[in-house]
Amino acid sequence: VSMGRTLVELFYDVISPYSWLGFEVLCRYQHIWNIDLRLRPALLGGIMQQTGNKPPAMLPKRAEYMLKDIKRMAKYYQVPVHISGGDFQRIFATSSLAAMRFITAIDMMNQQYLEPLSRQFWLRFWSQCEDISQPENILAVAQQAGLSGELSQKALEMISSPTVKDRLKETTAEAIKYGAFGMPAVVAHYDGEPHLFFGSDRLELLGSVIGE
């Protein structure tokens, strides 16, 4: 981390639409604010399980609100999230474990692809409403993100390795240690301490805390 730049960590999972919104805004602001953005792929399911949190959409009134809220935020931030009532079932029926392990493997091997790869997973799941859980889906996403066939194959083989599994578990545990109970979890390291911001609608507060 270069002198005087604030390290900002974004803990995210591609199954989370709010994570996509937070990701895109932070990716834009990393060139405007004096920050070093560090993308931290983690597992939302693990965070929910370990903190006893429940998916917000399980509460019908909250699900109703979320539909409108995500649509408004998508329009405001110009991020192509497409969401309809049926999508909550789709999320509950989809595991992001393989995708997040694949992203973790790329994070360990070739970090330059982390941002485009993560974006393509969100685009496939949240814009094109297609599956991301099967190996062929994952390889299609990797190709869209510009990864070579060789790198993709290697990362796909790595998702069953203890190294990658442990790294994803550790990152998830780290998010929880900072106080995360859902995603996105944004942690700004400022004035010698970590500041946790939950969700994609607290970014002006983040700016204010770090003097931006």
List the structure tokens of 207.
Answer: 């700016």
For residue 193, what are the β-bridge partners? 190
Among the options 16, 19, 96, 152, which is catalytic? Answer: 16
- How far, in Å, CA of 156 to CA of 60, rounded? 37
The span from the CA of 4 to the CA of 121, in Å, is: 33
Q: What distance in Å separates the CA atoms of residue 172 and residue 166, rounded to the nearest whole number?
A: 10
Tokens of 202: 């607290």
User: Residue 93's CB: how many other CB atoms inside 10 A?
Assistant: 9
**Beta carbons of 30 and 57 less than 8 angstroms apart:** no
For the question of residue 127 being annotated catalytic, the response is no
Q: From residue 164, give the alpha-carbon distance in Å to each of 8, 45, 116, 161.
A: 23, 17, 20, 6
Long-range contacts, 48-53 (Cβ 8 Å, 24+):
48/181, 48/182, 50/172, 50/176, 51/176, 51/180, 51/181, 51/182, 53/181, 53/182
Known catalytic residues are 16
